[in-house]
């Protein structure tokens, strides 16, 4: 039995590098040798016990690599191809997929299930490892163009897809005003996405000067430090009464509530954050339910066509997405990488993990 190294969730506050069995692909799967992956904020929620997964699970959902082996039913790909797969791996055949809700894919079942489409590092072994099995490979593998580096591609499976989806779900259009609360990697991707979608006033909010500076480079017209000013009042002043769209990219009561207070009546709050507690809706911010507000949420779209489009955005260099990868570690150093990333030291944004 062949073995490999992988980051395994053991219990709350404990993810360790372990030797585990090297997986084998089924007929519709592909085995991918990981060349680059990263750690997501959702992985930190898992580490802290805020999002439950089974002990013994290999963590990670942002794979970049080369095809090592193909199932007998997979066509159109060859061993050795450089590929990515989205964090969400829709089957393309279930009720959710055929209804246009592929992020909530039930993988052959008939019931919609929130977070159902997210499998890597959630319900199946993920990619913070030497190898990963990609399910439904025909629908989920996407070749990396020769002129795109692994570092450019690694943000496509989740960070870019999630950040952009907040903009898409809110139907941001030409001339809109958009405020993005929290300028971590996903918030920065949302900032860039708002600019790409045609917003003419993009406001980035954070309390870390380096992230505010990065927000400007990603496309924000104005940046606001919530530690230094009344952000809601300033957003209303800049927009003449409230933004068209407010994007929540942190997952806290404070940022969610600030979003509600920052949009005009009829405005949209687009929520990206992973919440670890109950969210309250203040009556005044919600106009007692009479303000025609819309609240939408998103789970990042996956699938090969989504990945192809996102890689096109990375190739076009409309924003410096590569700058979001600030630190690099070997897989053997992943516990150190988790410690740095979870505690947000040394200006970390995203970490590159190289098996």
pLDDT digits (tens, 9 = 90+) for 186-231: 999 999 999 999 999 999 999 999 999 999 999 999 999 999 999 9
Q: Across residues 237-253, what is the average pLDDT?
A: 96
- Do 10 and 148 share a domain, yes or no? yes
Burial class (CB in 10 A: 0-12, 13-18, 19+), 53: middle
- Give the pLDDT confidence score for residue 107 in this predicted structure: 79
Q: Is 122 exposed, middle or buried (0-12, 13-18, 19+ CB in 10 A)?
A: buried
Comparing CA positions, the residue from 205, 148, 203 lying closest to residue 176 is: 203
Beta-strand ranges (E) seen in 182-276 are: 201-206, 222-225, 243-248, 263-271
Residue-level pLDDT at 25? 97
| Residues belonging to the chain | 355
Q: What band does 114 get if pLDDT is binned at 50, 70 and 90?
A: low
| In-domain check, residue 303 | no
User: Per residue in 258-280, pLDDT tens?
Assistant: 999 999 999 999 999 888 778 88
Residue 341 to residue 344: CA distance in whole angstroms: 5
CATH for 43: 3.90.180.10
Domain boundary among 282, 297, 312: 297
Q: For residue 315, is it within any domain?
A: no
Find the mean pLDDT for residues 71-75.
96
19 lies in the same domain as 150: yes
Give the β-pairing of 82-85 and 263-271. unpaired
* Dihedral (Cα; 139, 305, 85, 104), 10-degree rounding: -70
Domain co-membership, 349 together with 245: no
Res 72 pLDDT > 60: yes
What range does the domain containing 141 cover? Answer: 3-154+320-354
Establish if 114 belongs to a structural domain.
yes
Residues 14 and 117 in one domain: yes
Which sign does the torsion angle of CA 110, 113, 118, 123 carry?
A: negative
245 part of a folded domain: yes
Whether residue 102 is contained in a domain is answered as yes
Q: Kindly state whether residue 192 falls inside one of the protein's structural domains.
A: yes
Same domain flag for 57 and 179: no
- Provide, rounded to the nearest whole percent, the portion of the chain with pLDDT above 70: 97
Q: What is the CATH number of the domain that holds 275?
A: 3.40.50.720
In a domain, 314, yes or no: no
- Please count the structural domains in the chain: 2
Give tens-digit pLDDT for 74-108: 999 999 999 999 999 999 888 888 888 888 888 76
Say if residue 292 is in the same domain as residue 189. yes
Residues 63 and 186 in one domain: no
| Distance between CA atoms of residues 185 and 350, nearest Å | 7
Q: How many CB atoms lie within 10 A of CB 336?
A: 12
Same domain, 172 and 271: yes
For residue 245, pLDDT beyond 60: yes
Do residues 130 and 112 share a domain? Answer: yes
HSE value, Cβ hemisphere, 13 Å, CA-based, for 276: 13
Residues 131, 169 within the same domain: no
Indicate if 56 and 190 belong to the same structural domain. Answer: no
346 in the same domain as 286: no
Position 244 in a domain: yes
């Amino acid at each position: 039995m062949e073995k490999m190294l992988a980051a395994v969730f053991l219990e709350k506050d404990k993810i360790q590098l372990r030797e585990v069995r090297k997986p084998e692909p089924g007929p519709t799967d592909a085995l991918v040798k990981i060349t680059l992956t990263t750690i997501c904020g959702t992985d930190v929620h898992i580490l802290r016990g805020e999002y439950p997964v089974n002990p013994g699970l290999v963590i990670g959902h942002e794979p970049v690599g080369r095809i090592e082996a193909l199932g007998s039913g997979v066509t159109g790909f060859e061993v050795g191809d450089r590929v990515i797969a989205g964090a969400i791996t829709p089957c393309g055949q279930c009720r959710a997929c055929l209804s246009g809700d592929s992020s909530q894919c039930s993988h052959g079942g008939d019931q919609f299930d929130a977070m159902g489409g997210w499998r890597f590092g959630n319900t199946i072994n993920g990619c913070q490892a030497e190898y990963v099995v990609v399910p439904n490979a025909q629908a989920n593998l996407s070749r990396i163009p020769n002129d795109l580096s692994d570092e450019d591609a690694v943000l496509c499976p989740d960070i870019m897809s999630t950040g952009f989806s907040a903009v898409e779900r809110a139907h941001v259009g030409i001339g809109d005003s958009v405020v993005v609360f929290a300028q971590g990697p996903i918030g920065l991707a949302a900032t860039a996405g708002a600019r790409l979608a045609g917003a003419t006033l993009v406001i980035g909010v954070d309390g870390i000067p380096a992230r505010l500076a990065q927000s400007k480079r990603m496309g924000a017209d104005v940046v606001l430090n919530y530690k230094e000013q009344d952000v809601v009042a300033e957003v209303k002043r800049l927009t003449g009464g409230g933004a068209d769209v407010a994007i929540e990219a942190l997952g806290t009561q404070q940022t969610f509530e600030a979003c509600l207070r920052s949009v005009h009546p009829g405005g949209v709050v687009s929520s990206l954050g992973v919440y670890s507690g109950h969210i309250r809706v203040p009556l005044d911010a919600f106009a007692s339910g009479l303000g025609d507000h819309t609240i939408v949420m998103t789970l990042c779209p996956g699938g090969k066509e989504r990945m192809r489009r996102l890689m096109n955005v990375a190739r076009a260099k409309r924003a410096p997405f590569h700058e979001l990868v600030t630190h690099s570690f070997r897989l053997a150093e992943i516990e150190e990488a988790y410690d740095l990333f979870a505690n947000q030291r040394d200006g970390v944004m995203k970490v590159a993990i190289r098996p």
